[in-house]
Amino acid sequence: MHTPHLRRIATEEAFCIPEIAEALRELSRGPSNSIDMMLLRKIYDGGTTYQSSFLAPLLDVGAGRLQDMDENGVDMQLLSLTAPGVQLFDADTATELATVANDYLASLIAAHPTRYAGLASFAPQSPKRAVREMCRAVEQLQLNGFIVNSHTNNEYLDEPKYWPILEAAEALDRCLYIHPRGPSEMLSGPMRDYGMFAALWAYGVEVGTHAVRLILSGVFDRFPRLRICLGHMGEAVHFWLWRIDFMSQRAQTAGAPKLQLKPSDYFRRNFVITTSGQESPLALDFSIKQLGIDNVMWAIDYPYQPSAPAVAFMDSVDVTPAQRAQLYHGNAERIFHIKPWT
């Protein structure tokens, strides 16, 4: 009996555009000591190895990327502007570049509607203009959600100045993907040694910290329908939920903001996670049991991670056929408003 092909939607797949690549190259040549520069200087102004491994495939959203997808049975990529997006630039430049990137992404999706969907960028540096771009991205460009690369100028989205962004994401009913970048200055010091500055360790610490700040600040009592996505198997936050719950009760009695729910309740209600760059069957099994199958999606993290092992991982994990379908495409279709196959 023939087994029908299972649709595979990869939900954290990076791209770049020439204008932003050039702007990041110029920035990387400056005197900044930001921890982000440790990787950016290699990708945008370094040797040919990094440029061929990462920059070239980031810029290739045509034949090369589609060939990789076809060779590995990947039906669709949910594209997002690669980190750090526009968040290292001044507000005017960042706003302009986000608009250009979103227009480019929308045209790309229009050219390949069955292969690509997309998350819109915006410039948190200017929250009012960010909200306008978010509305345009959904209402005019029909993009599928939003991407933000954790902190902006060492500030996190729990700060009231950024609440209009959270309010807009909730009102537009679009998920906000919080992707890593180099950690804020408060966290970056110990991360500069031993290769810890990026995905090896620092990225998870940065985004996990951001997520816990959002939960403990009470923003999900203000925006109860806000949906946040975390990659890399949830940046390990849900492995700590029991202890976070316990210690949060103590913190609230000592003056921390009062919460209507337990932190774990918010995580299960307001967060979803992807498997990007974390191909551990044990971690996936725990995530499904901790968060529920409805809150977990498959991703590759292309081109930073290779496609073939990510597909082999999800093809081989010990889940039911119905669960595999949810992980591969069902949850992504629902959460990111992607039209199901007919």
Which residues does the annotation mark as catalytic?
301
User: Cβ distance 192 to 205 under 8 Å?
Assistant: no
Beta strand spans in the chain (E): 9-15, 76-81, 116-120, 145-148, 176-178, 228-230, 271-274, 296-297
Strand, coil or helix: 324: helix
Alpha-carbon span 169 to 167, nearest angstrom: 6
What are 125's two structure tokens? 């540096």
Inter-CA distances, 288 with 7, 54, 212, 216, 335, Å? 20, 31, 20, 23, 16
Strand, coil or helix: 336: coil
User: Cβ distance 327 to 298 under 8 Å?
Assistant: yes
Chain CA centroid to CA 110, Å: 22
